[in-house]
Amino acid sequence: MEPAPGTGATPPALEVRGLRTQFPGRAGVVRAVDGVSFSIRRGEILGLVGESGSGKSVTGFSILGLVEPPGRITAGQVLLEGRPINGLSGSALRRIRGAEVAMVFQDPLMTLNPVLRIGTQMAAAVRAHDRVSRAAAWARAEEALAVVGIPSPRARLESYPHQLSGGMRQRVAIATALLHRPKAIIADEPTTALDVSIQGQILAEVRRLADATGTAFLWITHDLAVVSSLADALCVMYAGRVVERGPASAVIAAPRHPYTVALVGSVPSGHAPGARLPQLAAGLPPQGPGGAADAGCLFRTRCPRATPVCATPPPEAGFGAGHTALCHHPAGTTA
Ligand SMILES: Nc1ncnc2c1ncn2[C@@H]1O[C@H](COP(=O)(O)OP(=O)(O)O)[C@@H](O)[C@H]1O
Ligand code: SF4
Ligand SMILES: [Mg+2]
């Protein structure tokens, strides 16, 4: 249960309010993130799902203040344990990044330097934020590798990234993100490149880590099968907006937004990740039928339940326990 506001209860580990991020485009402004809000409690895993181009990565980059011009965050707040971190100066933000909120990318080589030993770079990451001896930094690195289930962690510290398998490299990236016991980790498609059984092992470790350390995870993926059994809660993004949210079990068992219905339906019982959306019309690019300023439901060109009213802003329909969908005619209702 979300604590009632104003009761002095612990604020969420990570909260995003009304985030908007835009890019100039040839056909006008691209609203990559268009009013996204969510909160993640300590030890909670929030799955942010949606197909490619829906705005998931830009959401992650925006939280960390990593949007490059001409991209621009035009609205919204990001709070870490109730403290606003957007609008901080470059150096203040750099102190927070890595230490209080860390990021894990699809390609671990975005964070791992190929020409340095694992131990050298992890120790440098420790010492970037904490004044400890080299030996103490190496010991912290070794401990972090053990925590993510890497066998013979001391020997692995001597390895170069290319000497490890893809799954091991991604574990190293997660271990590096965990070095400072951050309040939150943003993981952007971190297991997409890995085979299914390795993905499963890593996700099981992450579930355990979230429980044991209290770190909040924003787990970004285009693949609903990957997060359905791991996440506590889900936010489904379409065209820059969160169109459905709720406890993961409720969203998977009874999806309400027609887009989520299609996503859930496209997850075969065999759990082949990365499945397409077979029953959806191909549709237009996710910036929507009427261009960037379209206030109607942007899914209406692909939606089997669409009616003329769908060209007007969809209301937020509630289904209990924080489960909501932005839709005029949610599934399972006669509306
Ligand atoms: N650097 C950029 N310049 C222009 N448009 C961008 C840039 N980065 C992302 N976008 C646009 O923002 C939208 C969301 O992108 P992204 O967040 O990467 O999607 P996802 O991670 O869900 O696949 C897309 O329409 C994409 O084209
Ligand atoms: S608002 Fe209309 S078009 Fe959009 S998802 Fe709901 S039924 Fe479909
Ligand atoms: Mg992405």
CB atoms under 10 Å from CB of 304, counted, come to 12
Q: Which atom of ligand 1 is nearest to the CA of 237?
A: 22
Q: How far apart are CA 13 and CA 79, in angstroms?
A: 8
Superfamily of domain 14-100+182-326: P-loop containing nucleotide triphosphate hydrolases (3.40.50.300)
pLDDT in tens, the chain (335 residues): 444 555 567 899 999 999 999 999 887 888 999 999 999 999 999 999 999 999 999 999 999 999 999 999 999 999 999 999 987 888 888 889 888 999 998 888 778 899 999 999 999 999 999 999 999 999 999 999 998 889 999 999 999 999 999 889 999 999 999 899 899 999 999 888 888 888 888 888 899 999 999 999 999 999 898 888 889 999 999 999 999 999 999 999 999 999 999 999 876 554 444 444 444 544 444 554 455 567 899 999 899 999 999 999 999 999 999 999 999 999 998 87
Return the residue whose CA atom lies nearest to atom 13 of ligand 1.
32
- C-beta of 256 in contact with ligand 2 (< 6 A): no
Residue ranges with CB less than 5 Å from ion ligand 3 = 57
Domain ranges of the chain: 14-100+182-326, 112-179
Place of tokens 């909040």: 216
Q: How far apart are CA 268 and CA 194, in angstroms?
A: 19
Q: What integer pLDDT is reported at residue 153 of this predicted model?
A: 96
Helix or strand or coil: residue 46? Answer: strand
Query: Where in the chain does DSSP place strands (E)?
Result: 14-25, 28-40, 45-49, 72-80, 83-84, 101-104, 184-188, 216-221, 233-238, 241-247, 316-318, 324-326
**Closest-approaching ligand to the CA atom of 30:** 1
- C-beta of 329 in contact with ligand 2 (< 6 A): yes
Residue ranges of alpha helices (H) inside 148-230 are 153-157, 166-178, 196-213, 224-228
Residue ranges of alpha helices (H) inside 113-266 are 118-129, 134-147, 153-157, 166-178, 196-213, 224-228, 248-253, 258-265
Q: What integer pLDDT is reported at residue 283 of this predicted model?
A: 45
Place of tokens 């707040």: 77
Contact residues of ligand 1, CB 6 A cut-off: 23, 30, 32, 50, 52-58, 71
| DSSP classification of residue 303 | -
Q: How far apart are CA 25 and CA 203, in angstroms?
A: 37
Q: Which atom of ligand 2 is nearest to the CA of 298?
A: 4
Return the residue whose CA atom lies nearest to atom 1 of ligand 2.
327
Which of 263, 294, 300 should be mutated for ligand 2, with most atoms under 8 A from CB?
Answer: 300
Which of 23, 106, 241 should be mutated for ligand 1, with most atoms under 8 A from CB?
Answer: 23
